[in-house]
Amino acid sequence: MPSVTRIFRELREAGFSYVDKTSFITEVLDDSSKVLLFPRPRRFGKTLNLSMLLYFLCKSHEDLSHLFDGLEVTKNPDAMAHFQKYPVVFVTFKDVKAKTLAGP
């Protein structure tokens, strides 16, 4: 299974059908909150959206613009001003399984 951080990239580079959800990037960038919470049921695209956000915002020596070719976010100059500009720490709790905060 691919790393959770690579999901968006692998979908785009393999040419799979992709429903453009890049308006999510603009919503995140336009939100002035200090903390954002994305509560969604399982299988509702949380990891895919965060992977997409990672590739959009994360500073990289590699040009990743091909991942966003033809997607809505590229039409927004305010959003594109943030493209690959920031160091990003991606933390996932996907595989954490515990019944309490103390442990299993």
pLDDT of residue 94: 75
Task: Please indicate, yes or no, if residue 53 is contained in any of the structural domains.
Answer: yes
Higher-pLDDT residue of 80, 97: 80
Of 63, 75, 70, 72, whose CA–CA distance to 22 is shortest? 72
Task: Please indicate, yes or no, if residue 40 is contained in any of the structural domains.
Answer: yes
Task: Please indicate, yes or no, if residue 12 is contained in any of the structural domains.
Answer: yes
Structural domain including 44 reads 4-80
Of 42, 64, 66, whose CA–CA distance to 54 is shortest? 64
State yes or no: pLDDT of 1 exceeds 50.
no
Question: How many domains, in total, are found in the chain?
Answer: 1
Task: Please indicate, yes or no, if residue 10 is contained in any of the structural domains.
Answer: yes
Task: Please indicate, yes or no, if residue 102 is contained in any of the structural domains.
Answer: no
State yes or no: pLDDT of 42 exceeds 90.
no
Task: Please indicate, yes or no, if residue 90 is contained in any of the structural domains.
Answer: no
Task: Please indicate, yes or no, if residue 57 is contained in any of the structural domains.
Answer: yes
Taking residues 8-23, what's their average pLDDT?
A: 93
State yes or no: pLDDT of 28 exceeds 50.
yes
pLDDT of residue 4: 67
State yes or no: pLDDT of 24 exceeds 90.
yes
